[in-house]
Amino acid sequence: MQVPAVNYVAVLAAAVVMFILGGLWYSPVLFVKKWVALQGKTEEQMRAEAASANMPLMYVSAFVSSLITAIVMAHILAHMAFIMPTGAVHGAFFGFMAWLGFAAPTSYATALFSGKPKQLWLIDSMYNLVSFALAGLILAAWR
């Protein structure tokens, strides 16, 4: 019995989609104003922090994080395809279940103990939900 191969082009595409979604999610197009306010900071403070940070390293790290997520999801979906057929809907559902079972509860517990507002957790967690579902969809559909 051989596990189906992983499509690394699809892995790269899923990682790029997750990275781009993150850029949009935390931009003026979507949630940056509310996200910054929930951090208890002003946009000027966030810009000052960004100016003193190593932004290229932060962006590379964010992309590598997306890439790791996509690689792991691809391997799990390949093993699932060995057991049952998978497609785009199954992949999106897998992404949802990965979020529900792993990302949502662990990040929620962390948010509770760190005292962060629940709305901040919601913005961050919904990014994870959407990105996991999209990655799962891409990886399962593009075999």
pLDDT tens digits in sequence order for the chain, 143 residues long = 677 789 999 999 999 999 999 999 999 999 999 999 999 988 889 889 888 999 999 999 999 999 999 999 999 999 888 777 779 999 999 999 999 999 999 999 999 999 999 999 999 999 999 999 999 999 999 98
Please tell me the pTM assigned to this model: 0.93
CA distance linking residue 125 with residue 116, whole number of Å: 13
Please answer whether residues 92 and 137 qualify as being in contact, where contact means their C-beta atoms are separated by less than 8 angstroms: yes
pLDDT at position 19 is: 98
pLDDT at position 4 is: 76
The DSSP secondary-structure symbol of 2 reads: -
CA 17, chain centre distance (Å):
9
Q: Rounded to the nearest 5°, which phi and psi values hold at 36?
A: -65, -45
Q: How far apart are the first and last CA of the chain?
A: 18
